[in-house]
Chains A and B, each alone.
Chain A
Amino acid sequence: MSSSSETGAFVQTPSQTVGPFFGYALPYQGGADVVDRTHPAAIRLHGRVFDGAGVGVPDAIVEVWQPDESGVISTELGSFERDGYTFTGFGRVPTTRAGDYTFTTVKPGVAVAGGVAGVAVAGGDATGAGHPEAGAASAAVAVAGAPYALITVFARGLLHHLFTRAYFVDADGAESFESFAQTDATLSTVLADRRATLVASQDGPGSYRFDITLQGDNETVFFDFDA
């Protein structure tokens, strides 16, 4: 088969840019609404995608994939046909002419689904499902890591998509980003002077801003999970 090399290994198919013409293919109705605006925990997650000249990128498409507010990772179908109630954890939205994107979602909890080895969940309930308090209680006790949403960026000019994480920090400072950095294994490896690019900071009631800078002095930290 063409995708296997002489050694018999299955070698990855290379990435190519999403190009400029995805606009009638990838965006979909409801893509921005991970939850409905009437959801009691609904927040706005928004920002601008900047290029290396500080100009907004009008032809990017941003995806979010995150646990719900209690840290449960959804296995529900329905991301393409929202029913307004089911949390699927996935959203996708193209940037505007200014380079802006907006999701309606919830602040993620620390992911607990699957019970990752090394993460002791208080009370022995590894699923977290149906126990909204479990995530919060264990966060204070034993959960390693800080809550975040996985953000993926595609754009014309990006030959390979970029992964980053939006860590939510409230304006009241109840959870400080520096405390996240002490408990989160990944954050602790990110140079202190670049960590701030991973903050979705509260810019209003129920609103968090997460700008994505593709290149330059304030370049967002992008991750390679293929370590």
Chain B
Amino acid sequence: MNDQPTATERFIQGILPENPTYRQLLGLCPTLAVTNGLKQALTMAGAVTVVLFCANIIVSLIRNLLKPHLRIVVFTLTIATFVTMVDRFLAAYMYQMSKALGPYIPLIIVNCIIICRCEVCASKQGLIASGADAIGQGIGFGLGLSSIAVVRELLGTGALAGVAVLPAAWPQWVIMVLPPGAFLTFGLLLGLINWIQQRRSVEG
């Protein structure tokens, strides 16, 4: 019966080996949309982690009551509720950021990461493992988003989180903060990660 990963394993898996952005290729919509700035990327990652954590906890609490044909409804209801709460919270206490993130906060409801984790982990394991899984995946998602955001913001505006880093002489690659830049950056970084992974498996 205990062939399920432990809480620690869940936590560590989520950060790099099963990284939602680069390994699982889930939740790609916010990955491309909000990575034009480091602050936006981190806020989004935080929001997703909060929703994922709360949803995982609730689903884990009621996991023994769930039956196959209604579980998606339950997941969706739970996730939509927490996303609404996070959205309102941001609008109340981080108004400018809420405006910058716009429609991408409610789109967390259809973010494949959360439904996938509820399905794979929370509906089968206890509170601690589910919570650890949520935090691990959240950190992994944060790493994925930040890596893209750093490249885009630095090359596109010469600043990082709004603080100028590169000298003023840097010709800003405006394309980086526009849609094509998102696709290109993510595609190239994904290729890089794949290359590193392949080198590792050849050597190991």
> Do they bind each other?
no
State the B residues within 8 Å of A (CB): none
State the A residues within 8 Å of B (CB): none
